[in-house]
A and B are shown apart, each in its own frame.
Chain A
Amino acid sequence: MTPALAPRRYFGHGLPYCDVKDLTGTLITLEGTDGVGRSTQVQLLKGWLEVQGYGVMETGWTRSELMSETIGAAKAGHNLNQLTFSLLYATDFADRLEKLVIPALRSGFVVLADRYMYTAFARSVVRGADPAWIRSVFGFAIVPDLVLHLKITVDDLIPRVLRGRGMDYWESGMDMHLGSDPYESFRNYQGRLIREYNRMSREFGFINLDATLPIDAIQEKIRTRVKAILEDRKIRALTEGLETIRPLLFEPEPEIPRVNLESAGPRGMNPSSGSES
């Protein structure tokens, strides 16, 4: 017997009032520390998928309707501690999960999450939370189909961030008093975060991608992985009963719009990088 269409499961103790077993969409997450290039890759991937006719929903950290303002104000006021820091993020995550992610997956969308629960784990654990506790708090999260990890060393990260928007208070972990100036603090804090991401990469089986590669080279690797996942899910859908297939039957086949690939990415992607089949 073929297993059911990649049955969804909760990460831990899930939401008893919400059955996720039959969600037909695909959940793809990008992880990695601050300034590593996640958002650029999400945008390129989104364009590529949409050109192929996939419905794509994007969700990003602290963007929930419920919590976005509160988190902004709390960070501005610098009055968070390890517990409230963790719980505010968890609330934001839950709001987006129930209001956006689950409905989108139920409608067969590809959901692209710029950061997922692993960012919360890294930041909370670095701030002293019990790793088992923070994992249990996110028990209601849905296990993603793919975790793409943009991996970098702190030495490679620093010039990137300095050339970009510079070092800010929270990304430097200044709340943790790890160094006397932003540079020292950033180095120390990001070093710890990166170690956490690397540890979790082994724990949860992330796909590691070298974040120092050129943007389109990373994107090409991402597309290869995503394509494999989407096709795998489709093949499994076709071997399942009609009920499971139904939402997928109305999706165009990935091959159809290949002609338009050149417009997929705003950065002039090499079309060959996306059209391998």
Chain B
Amino acid sequence: MKPERRNSSPRGKLIVVEGIDGSGKSTQIKLLYKWLEARGEQVFFTEWNSSALVRQATKRGKKKNLLTPSTFSLLHATDFADRMTYHILPYLKAGMTVLADRYIYTAFARDIARGVDPRWVRDLYSFALQPDATFYFRVPLDVATARILSMRAKIKFYEAGMDLGLSTDPVESFRLFQGRVLKEYDRMAPEYKFKVVDGTRSIDSQQQKVRSVVARLYESAPAALEAS
């Protein structure tokens, strides 16, 4: 299935944030949401792994450690397909802006770090729409680890890649696994033309950069602004 191109009918903007856990992307997308709303845009927010369709299976699979790299990947693809159908496409067709906290690149990075075939996972997600902009919040591993450890009492099993048996120590496993994920993000950045944001800078200076890129998206498509 070829990725759908944004050609035929006018549609809303799809803006995506990506980065490893603790990169600060969720903070940034919330600030962007506020700003777009204040500008009068109709905005819809969707996040990774949130559809009701496979919630039970994912929850049970994670809780009982039933997941293999391939079923982990396929469950997330199913979740994404469901959200693509109900939470992304209709909003874009209605001319709204969709903000996605994590997109297919999360799957590419994590699944490849777990050991699935990179070509396979890319084919799997070929039904996905291309975003208008993808922001990649890049932070060194130490910064991300420190942020996660200070915010959470306990690191989750799959977040730390404990299923891979890299280390029996959750913190060490988290570092090793997220290190692999980080490497994949860095590899994808030029391939998918990510807008790279230095996630170690202050929250407001990162947000300024994001807003300036997003503002240009709307300038190049005046029709969308008139519609709002």
List A residues at the B interface (Cβ < 8 Å): 12-17, 65-67, 69-70, 73-74, 79-81, 83-84, 87-88, 90-91, 94-95, 97-99, 129-130, 132-133, 136-137, 139-140
Q: What is the count of residue pairs linking A and B with beta-carbon distances less than 8 angstroms?
A: 93
Query: Judging by beta carbons under 8 Å apart, are A94 and B81 in contact?
Result: no
Q: Are A15 and B69 in contact (CB under 8 A)?
A: yes
Chain B minimum-CB-distance residue to A93: B74
Residue of A nearest to B121 (CB): A13
Question: Is the pair B126, A133 in contact by a Cβ cutoff of 8 Å?
Answer: yes
26 intermolecular pairs with C-beta atoms under 8 Å apart: A13-B119, A17-B115, A17-B116, A65-B66, A66-B61, A67-B57, A69-B56, A69-B57, A70-B56, A74-B53, A81-B81, A83-B84, A84-B53, A87-B77, A88-B53, A91-B57, A91-B71, A94-B70, A95-B66, A95-B68, A95-B71, A98-B70, A98-B71, A137-B124, A139-B117, A139-B120
Residues in B neighbouring A139, C-beta threshold 8 A: 117, 120, 123
Residue with the greatest number of chain A CB neighbours at <10 A, chosen from B69, B78, B116: B78
Which residues in A have their C-beta under 8 angstroms from that of B127?
Answer: 83, 133
A79 and B116 alpha carbons, distance in the complex (Å)? 29
In the complex, whether B38 has a CB less than 8 A from a CB of chain A is no
A-facing residues in B53-93 (Cβ within 8 Å)? 53-54, 56-57, 60-61, 66-71, 74-75, 77-78, 81-82, 84-85
* Cross-chain contact A91 with B124 (CB below 8 angstroms): no
In this complex, what residue of B is CB-closest to A135? B123
User: Is B1 engaged at the interface, CB distance under 8 Å to the other chain?
Assistant: yes
A90 to chain B, nearest CB (A): 5
Interface mask (B121-151 → A, CB under 8 Å = 1, otherwise 0): 0011011000000000000000000000000
The secondary-structure label for the interface of chain B is helix
- Tell me the smallest distance from the CB of A203 to a CB of chain B, in Å: 19
A151 to chain B minimum Cβ distance, whole angstroms, is 29
**Chain A residue, CB-CB nearest to B77:** A87
Tell me the smallest distance from the CB of B5 to a CB of chain A, in Å.
15
Return chain B residues, CB-CB under 8 Å to A87.
74, 77-78, 81
The chain B residue sitting closest to A86, CB to CB, is B81
Q: In the complex where A66-B57, A81-B85 touch, is A94 in contact with B123 (Cβ < 8 A)? A: no
**A-side binding surface: helix, strand, loop or mixed?**
helix
Asked if residues A83 and B74 are in contact (CB atoms below 8 Å), the reply is no
Q: Which residue of A lies closest to B74 (CB)?
A: A91
**Binary CB contact string for chain B from 97 to 126 against chain A (1 if under 8 A, 0 otherwise):** 000000000000000000111011001101
CB distance B81 to A83 under 8 Å?
Answer: yes
Give the distance to chain B from A91, nearest Cβ to Cβ, in Å: 4
Q: Which A residues touch B119, using CB under 8 A?
A: 13
* Whole-angstrom distance between the Cβ of B67 and the nearest chain A Cβ: 7
Q: Which residue of A lies closest to B56 (CB)?
A: A70
Instruction: Judge whether A136 and B124 touch: CB under 8 Å.
Output: yes
Instruction: Write the chain B residue with the least CB distance to A10.
Output: B117
CA distance A106 to B34 in the complex (A): 55
A165 to B206, CA, bound (A): 62
A136→B122 CA distance, assembly (Å): 10
A12 to B61 alpha-carbon distance, docked (Å)? 26
Contacts of B85 in A (CB 8 A): 81, 83-84
Residues of B within 8 A of A74 (CB): 53
Contact B123 A13 (CB under 8 A): yes
Q: Which residues of B contact A69 (CB under 8 A)?
A: 56-57
Contact status of A94 and B56, CB under 8 A, knowing A15-B116, A81-B85, A136-B124? no
Query: Are B1 and A140 neighbours in the complex by a CB distance under 8 Å?
Result: no
